Structure 1
Amino acid sequence: MNTPRSRSFVADLLDEGGLAALETLERATREERAALLQARKDLARRVHAGEDLGLLPETADIRTDPDWRVAPPPADLTYRLVELATPATAEAAKAALAVGADVWVADLEDMLVPTPDRLLAAQQVIEETAATRTGDPAPGVTTLMVRPRGLHLPEAHVLVDGTPASASVVDVLCFLARSGRRLVENGSGPYLYLPKLESWQEARWWGDLLTRAEELLGLPAGCTRVSILVETVQAAYQLEEILHTLRDRVTGLTAGRWDYVFSHLRTYGHRPEHALPDVASFTMNTRFLRTYTELIVRTCHRRGVQAIGGPISLSASGPFDESVAMTHARVHRDKAREAAQGFDGAWALHPALVPVVRAPFEVRDERAGSGAQERLRHRDESQPEVVVDAHALRDVSTLPGSATLTGMRTALRSSLTYLTGWLAGEGTLTISGHIEDFGTVELARMQLWQWMLHGERFAEGPTMSVRLFDRMLEDEIALLRRRGAREDLLQHAVRLLRDSVLAEEPPPFLCTLAYEALVSLEGTAGTSAA
């Protein structure tokens, strides 16, 4: 046991038994987690050397077996037309529960700045919400789900044997210890959204983590159910294997659309033929993204899983004027496409958009004369084998649009603005009418890096260069100074962004470096779990 330099926030969440369970769980899962993170690096090196991602020959039997299905969902996860994802804060919880979303996704990852105080408050808000949740599946009753931090993230404020614990372990153990039993007793259960999975082996790690946590905390075996965000190109080739691995727990697959584009850049960005145009220039109807979403839907239909569409990041705040009406129209079109494609529901990021997201799915179900339970029962019938078009999943050659100076400035401005705000504690920001979280920075900075690497020529004529980047960067620094940004935070943000864009090999996740900067600003390196 370490001697704490200061009191860890988990000591305010867990009793002695809970702290012991946390240490046991971290030690039991640490070695495999390290091996999985190394496997990610090894695969990235092979792809950099010319290998393409594809289906796994050794798991062909799972994909071709027509008979297996996942376990039926619990009653309060059968009706999921709208899932509202927000930071796990008291203000966001109040709005989410008042607006009538079917699911509230309390986010501990991309939307919450992971300081000890905010993580402590988030778990307390989740516990308060859990105390009021029941297993009632009726429309208007909001079901709680929690998105923990990903496999790659550490928790610097919780040391076990002198090493930072896995943020995933900390988030899951605290959630189950504080809220799991109450949710089970109320006829619901602890439900999670698993982020950033890249392989079926990672799915197995999560399954083992949950099994051990339930045993340590005395919870019913298998009570923790999960949905999976399909946010990586690696996972797209292993969807059936991931579902099979978690078949007793999994309830849904969700299209994490822009994280998926970021993953594509992170995987193939070094190849000139994979240079992307401005992200704003292409839609989900393009072949590259349509193939990805159709694969999710077909896989879900075959295996009895709910398919949930991804969020659109537009904000709808303020009085109902022409701009808000246009936002509603764009969101409605996007969700109507997903409903027609076969998705069961979709994410929303703003409470005001919940009824807009809901409408196309309700119309679809009314026309079909069926609801969620009927759709799932129908999928128990034989479904055709899912054919994975490996080439189409990585083919960006037909994406419309081009790289532009406007796109470059937008990416730079949103990244620098968000990073500065994030270091100040703001997990989500509305920038130019869009709700942005850390996924915004990851995608934008990778696109800037790719354009820099390949010396991309913009539609207006200039070529991407360090000189051009620095000139635009100075403009944005001056703008943020005029808006009153803290100089120390701004300089940290500038360094993080510039280093990641100009790096020969960009960091896989900028959030890990931003987290190190955040911890350094706090002036503490960490404490023990006790």
Structure 2
Amino acid sequence: MSAVVFQQPEQDRTEARTEPRIELTGQVAGQEQLLTPAALAFLADLHRRFEPARQARLAARRERQAFFDAGGLPDFRADTAAIRAGDWRVAKLPAALLDRRVEITGPVEPKMVINALNSGANCFMADFEDSTAPTWANLLTGQRALKKAVAGTLDWMAPDGSKHYTLRPFDQQAVLMVRPRGWHLDEKHLRVDGAPISASLFDAGLFAFHNSDVLAAKERGPHFYLPKLQSMEEAALWNEVLGHVEQVLGRAPGQLRVTVLIETLPAAFEMDEILHALRGRVVGLNCGRWDYVFSYIKTFRAHRDKVLPERGQVTMTQPFLRAYSELLIQTCHRRGAHAMGGMAAQIPISGDDAGNDLAMAKVRADKLREVTAGHDGTWVAHPALIPLAREIFDERMPTPHQQHVLREDVHVTRDDLVKPPLGTITRAGFEGNVEVCVRYLAAWLDGNGCVPIHWLMEDAATAEIARTQLWQWLHADGLHLADGTEVDFALLERALIGLPSKLADRLQLPGASRLNEAIGMLDRMTHADTLEEFLTLPAYARLD
């Protein structure tokens, strides 16, 4: 469709710019109620102020990756040693976020928002990133749902009229937290002066614009989860953005609070620095385990001595992941911040009591590991897991958090964080990666960003592990499956060719009509000489 162009009023222009424009290239019913002239002007201001800095940070990422590709290793920074050694703490935590023992996350569609807020979890992370396919309709539906949820008016009726979902009273709801998309992503449907706006600024900015007054009055933030950071400079950029938002919207400094996901390998070496950059508003760090594994593979894509075994063997008990988790706990508690645990991807298995018992045993072991290590809370992907997670944390953590657990026994070195675990690649592991990646990508292209596959909740992060492992295995010389079969492109081709018939009896799969498209995309990305930075970058061009 043709773009809708908004000319800014003359008084809003600066002499340095000519014909500033705001263009909307997407259209869904009712979007003018969200994208008002005032909201668009607010977003355009964010773009003009911070886009150059964002591009500089992305360029720094590319330079850093080139260093890794040339054989370099990440390490603790010499120029920030004083920050790590200093005696400082983050700002006092808000009352609403003192107890975060169980958090649930999911996409921003209305039914999910209602169920998550009503779930009994302490917090709900409404996710515009890994579990939402960013179609224009999905994004605006999500923003509208969150706005109504904040106002207390959100409801949802099943299409057949059989069920009507409404929100519980405010004091019985989970605390709302919003995860915008990462710095690397654009929002192509909104262009300012001819360039797409940052997806991060669009998601966080639009939510804050519409909801900061109500949330501040309720002492509920706004609260954000910040994804995919790789450095303290990227954290500092967020701090500058949110400080500007507070100033423009009339909020007190530090009103907008954040939790940062440590889900990239470079960020694991800058946890102190990231907390310091955000110290006036940060509440904690989170072990974003799945994206962290993905980042490890991507960081070491050119290092043949750091090839990971199949995904199922890369658990949090592996030494390099345990070191990352324990360092995060130690760092957060030293600074007065929460150390949040990671996601349990399992979902209940209906019709298979034995299988369900095994899945729940894995969840129990994982949550017991987290609370025993000193984490202050954990994530689940399904409401049915909340009672189990809460039971474990209630038993082992009678206080609202465990910041008194300083973990002074932890001594993590660079080598602890980068040494790969031992393991194997089975035929089932290889073919499972192919299936997960294709099925998830097909669903994502069809507008669904969160997909249950084999009783695990797969999102962009877990699909990225599958994709990057396949690339890593196929581009490393001399790898063999556990049965002795060579890992080569013929093995991939056989798996791809056989997948449609393997799934033929599952015509109701999410994205079933786009399976062939997904197979073609995975084939091209896996054959490419250079690993694609993110699965969602080429896929985004095919949305809408």
TM-score, length of structure 1 as denominator length: 0.91
- Greater displacement, 276-285 / 432-441: 276-285
Which of the residues 487, 501, 506 maps onto 1:483? 506
Is residue 501 from structure 1 mapped to residue 526 from structure 2 by the alignment?
yes
Which of the residues 119, 123, 126 maps onto 1:99? 119
Paired with 2:176 and 2:352, the residues of 1 have a C-alpha distance of 29
5+ residue gaps in structure 2? 1-19, 154-169
Q: CA-to-partner distance for each residue in 1:192-241, whole Å, 9 max, x for gaps?
A: 00000000000011111111122222333221000011100000000000
Counterpart in the other structure of 2:89 = 69
Aligned ranges for residues 94-173 of structure 1 at < 5 Å? 94-132=114-152, 141-173=173-205
Paired with 2:278 and 2:455, the residues of 1 have a C-alpha distance of 38
Counterpart in the other structure of 1:260 = 292
Q: CA deviation at 1:360?
A: 1.4
Counterpart in the other structure of 1:45 = 66
Aligned ranges for residues 411-422 of structure 1 at < 5 Å? 411-422=433-444
Q: Contact (CA 8 Å) 2:23, 2:190: kept in 1 or not?
A: no
Q: Contact (CA 8 Å) 1:270, 1:453: kept in 2 or not?
A: no
Paired with 1:129 and 1:76, the residues of 2 have a C-alpha distance of 17
Q: CA deviation at 1:256?
A: 0.7
Which of the residues 420, 431, 436 maps onto 1:409? 431
Question: In structure 2, do the counterparts of structure 1 residues 47 and 371 end up closer, same or farther at CA, with 3 Å as the change threshold?
Answer: same
Q: Contact (CA 8 Å) 1:230, 1:236: kept in 2 or not?
A: yes
Which of the residues 223, 235, 240 maps onto 2:255? 223
Paired with 2:369 and 2:409, the residues of 1 have a C-alpha distance of 23
Q: CA deviation at 1:141?
A: 4.2
Question: In structure 2, do the counterparts of structure 1 residues 385 and 153 end up closer, same or farther at CA, with 3 Å as the change threshold?
Answer: farther
Counterpart in the other structure of 2:321 = 289
Which of the residues 229, 242, 249 maps onto 1:197? 229
- Greater displacement, 419-428 / 226-235: 419-428
Q: Helix, strand or coil: the match of 2:487?
A: coil
Q: CA deviation at 1:433?
A: 0.9
Counterpart in the other structure of 1:527 = none
Q: Helix, strand or coil: the match of 2:452?
A: strand
Which of the residues 212, 232, 252 maps onto 2:244? 212
Which of the residues 234, 241, 250 maps onto 2:266? 234
Paired with 2:513 and 2:171, the residues of 1 have a C-alpha distance of 48
Counterpart in the other structure of 1:525 = none
Q: Helix, strand or coil: the match of 1:274?
A: coil
Counterpart in the other structure of 1:510 = 535
Paired with 1:169 and 1:183, the residues of 2 have a C-alpha distance of 19
Q: Contact (CA 8 Å) 1:8, 1:158: kept in 2 or not?
A: no
Which of the residues 289, 300, 304 maps onto 2:336? 304
Is residue 272 from structure 1 mapped to residue 304 from structure 2 by the alignment?
yes
Paired with 2:311 and 2:124, the residues of 1 have a C-alpha distance of 28
Counterpart in the other structure of 1:186 = 218
Paired with 1:400 and 1:454, the residues of 2 have a C-alpha distance of 16
Counterpart in the other structure of 1:393 = 417
Amino acid at match of 2:77: L
Q: Contact (CA 8 Å) 1:101, 1:140: kept in 2 or not?
A: no
Equivalent pairs counted in the alignment come to 504
Q: CA deviation at 1:311?
A: 0.5
Q: CA deviation at 1:319?
A: 5.9
Counterpart in the other structure of 1:352 = 384
Which of the residues 476, 480, 496 maps onto 1:473? 496
Counterpart in the other structure of 1:528 = none
Amino acid at match of 1:100: G
Question: In structure 2, do the counterparts of structure 1 residues 512 and 112 end up closer, same or farther at CA, with 3 Å as the change threshold?
Answer: same
Which of the residues 445, 448, 457 maps onto 1:426? 448
Q: Contact (CA 8 Å) 1:180, 1:190: kept in 2 or not?
A: yes
Is residue 88 from structure 1 mapped to residue 113 from structure 2 by the alignment?
no
Paired with 1:355 and 1:5, the residues of 2 have a C-alpha distance of 44
Q: Contact (CA 8 Å) 1:102, 1:140: kept in 2 or not?
A: no
5+ residue gaps in structure 1? 523-530
Paired with 2:346 and 2:65, the residues of 1 have a C-alpha distance of 33
The RMSD of aligned alpha carbons is 2.1
TM-score, length of structure 2 as denominator length: 0.89
Q: CA deviation at 1:412?
A: 0.1
Q: Contact (CA 8 Å) 2:118, 2:173: kept in 1 or not?
A: no
- Greater displacement, 279-288 / 79-88: 279-288
Question: In structure 2, do the counterparts of structure 1 residues 56 and 385 end up closer, same or farther at CA, with 3 Å as the change threshold?
Answer: farther
Paired with 1:400 and 1:420, the residues of 2 have a C-alpha distance of 32
Bigger RCO of structures 1 and 2 (CA < 8 A, at least 6 apart): 1
Paired with 1:481 and 1:501, the residues of 2 have a C-alpha distance of 24
Amino acid at match of 1:330: K
Q: CA deviation at 1:357?
A: 1.1
Q: CA deviation at 1:339?
A: 0.4
Is residue 453 from structure 1 mapped to residue 501 from structure 2 by the alignment?
no
Question: In structure 2, do the counterparts of structure 1 residues 383 and 492 end up closer, same or farther at CA, with 3 Å as the change threshold?
Answer: closer
Question: Is the helix fraction higher in 1 or 2?
Answer: 1
Amino acid at match of 2:413: D
Q: Contact (CA 8 Å) 1:14, 1:177: kept in 2 or not?
A: no
Question: In structure 2, do the counterparts of structure 1 residues 228 and 489 end up closer, same or farther at CA, with 3 Å as the change threshold?
Answer: same
Q: Contact (CA 8 Å) 2:443, 2:512: kept in 1 or not?
A: no
Question: In structure 2, do the counterparts of structure 1 residues 400 and 11 end up closer, same or farther at CA, with 3 Å as the change threshold?
Answer: same
